[in-house]
Structure 1
Amino acid sequence: MPESAADAAYRRFLPWRRAFEIGFWVLLVSVNCIANSITTLMDIRRSESATLDWEPAVWELSSGLVWLLVMLPAIVWFTRRYPLHWDNWRRQLPRYLLASVFASAVHVAGMVALRVLVYRWQGMDYDFGPWGRQFFYEYLKDMRTFASIVLTMEGYRFILRRWQGEASLLDVPDEGPPMEPVERPERFLIRKLGREFLVAANDIEWIQASGNYVNLRVRQHDYPLRSTIAGIETKLDPRRFARVHRSYMVNLDQVASIEPMDSGDARLHLKDGTQLPCSRRYRADLRGRVGAGAESSA
């Protein structure tokens, strides 16, 4: 299959992906801090408050730093561990509400600690106010921020999956028997930027677990499928596919050689030059299935 313009654009984007993601959040938090500092300072000057000009900047910067350096990495981990989808949002909602309370508590504690340090450096005392009332006030703001971050992350991941191409199992038809066995699919449906096409199961070269997804490797393309690696293992033909690691499966036809390691594990060399890890618990079975001649000391 020739590489399309979308495929080429996606490949060009991949080396810059991490820089883009970090840059996006840094820019967003920075713009928000600057804008809030300016509007707060304008309100203070109109009210003729005794608040010094630098204080609003400290308030906003302390809040932004905690979101950027602490909360954002934590939310990335949390949303990958407990992904939110249309079919599970009701079940996940209590977990996310609890996470929003925890996120707000960490955010408030972190920003207050930073403000106390800056105020002491300036020879002043920082007064957060009554903790119960102030925390409730901050939580109402933090809950909206938390929800916005989660929705932005999930939306971005959805776009990436569709740009990359997302795999799914073929649905059972509304009428009549399925054209192929559902418990042992022969093909996978790929949705990619408004297009749909089929990929034969036997064309999958290897599979890697990635959170609540597995990536199906097909002709130098990775197609995420919502499944655990144990779940997809039960769907694929065991005569052709083998589990070689807690995070990897391989098409046996793609294995060129098995390189033993001193640790007892092994390294698989595939026909396209790819190298995959093989745990010691799977090595003996794999060697017998691909043939003794495949194991080498390369």
Structure 2
Amino acid sequence: MTERTLLSYERYQPWKRVIEAGFWIVVTGVNCVANSITTLMELRRGDSSIQAWEPAVWETSSAVMWLLVVLPAMAWFTRRYPFQWGDWRRQLARYAGASIVVCLVHVVGMVGLRVLAYRTQGMTYDFGPWPRELVYEYLKDVRSFASIVLTMEAYRLLLRRWQGEASLLAEPDEGPPLEPVDRPERFLIRKLGREFLVAANDIEWLQAAGNYVNLRVRGHDYPLRSTIAGIESRLDPRRFARIHRSYLVALDHVASIEPLDSGDARVHLRDGTVLPCSRRYRQDLRTRTGAEPG
């Protein structure tokens, strides 16, 4: 890992959402225009009486549903339930069910938009027999669904490689491990083909993020594939404390605890970071750190 690599990743962060949204807008827009033109050309070859604006309405209504409803929902779903090959049967069933929901939402929404568009022209939109048309649309949508999932997962993998991804040290093939595997003192960080070790003592706090836990080390986050409870059980309880269902904190980095009227608290760290603390962990944290109220 080089400082240049870290800086390039940090410079990307303010533009991340703009670039992500721009990518899907461009892809969906290009697909919409291309499909509108090719559909109109095919209809004109058959001497259809369809007006030129109708294919544009069909494709635009579909694109609007993908952009405003389906894609944001899929981004949330794939973050919440990332596909894991270790449990592929269950995952495949979950994703198959999600593809059906996506198709239904997409079709119902786009048909509604088409009905409204046709009414503005004093016309009636006929979708056709729903059972047959839903099957037809699903065969198209499931391919789009799979392509979008693959694109999102590939992008997230690239980001993790760029950012750096943490893992626990494995037991060696031969001989005893150099340190306890069940209570790791160091974590292996892989970043763009390079590997380096981070001491557990260098971790400032940890945050759950789906099937990952982000390790905060000197201002940088490194995702570790684990649950927050799983990693909590392997960290030294003398050094780390649970403060929230999604957070662990290194006790040496706690500067003060600010109680709130709700019974919860805010944990102020020495570098100025503020983390949430649930009421169930508040008293234990104060006892263990001896921190004065902020």
2:238 partner SS: coil
Alignment of 1:121 with 2:110, yes or no, is no
Aligned to 1:19: 18
Aligned to 1:195: 194
| Mapped partners of 1:52, 1:153: distance in 2 | 37
| Mapped partners of 1:95, 1:257: distance in 2 | 44
State whether residues 258 and 266 of structure 1, in contact with CA within 8 Å, keep that contact through their aligned partners in structure 2: yes
Aligned to 2:103: 104
Q: TM-score, normalised by structure 2?
A: 0.96
Task: Pick which of 273-282 and 193-202 moved more.
Answer: 273-282
Counterpart of 2:292 (choices 287, 292, 295) is 295
CA deviations 1:126-155 (Å, max 9, x no partner) are 111122221111111000000001001111
Q: How does 1:244-263 map to 2 (within 5 A)?
A: 244-263=243-262
| Mapped partners of 1:197, 1:124: distance in 2 | 66
Q: How does 1:1-298 map to 2 (within 5 A)?
A: 4-291=3-290, 294-296=291-293, 298=294
CA deviations 1:67-92 (Å, max 9, x no partner) are 11111111112111211133333330
Task: Pick which of 89-98 and 192-201 moved more.
Answer: 89-98
2:86 partner SS: coil
| Mapped partners of 1:278, 1:99: distance in 2 | 34
| Mapped partners of 1:218, 1:197: distance in 2 | 13
RMSD: 1.3
State whether residues 260 and 295 of structure 1, in contact with CA within 8 Å, keep that contact through their aligned partners in structure 2: no
Give the number of equivalent residue pairs. Answer: 294
2:13 partner SS: helix
1:262 Cα deviation (Å)?
2.4
| Mapped partners of 1:265, 1:110: distance in 2 | 42
Unaligned runs of 5+ in 2: none
1:175 Cα deviation (Å)?
2.6
2:89 partner SS: helix
| Mapped partners of 1:23, 1:34: distance in 2 | 16
Task: Pick which of 255-264 and 105-114 moved more.
Answer: 255-264
Q: TM-score, normalised by structure 1?
A: 0.95
1:205 partner SS: strand
2:276 partner SS: strand
Task: Pick which of 135-144 and 171-180 moved more.
Answer: 171-180
The alpha-carbon distance between structure 1 residues 4 and 88, as it changes in their structure 2 partners (threshold 3 A), is farther
Q: Which amino acid aligns with 1:295?
A: E
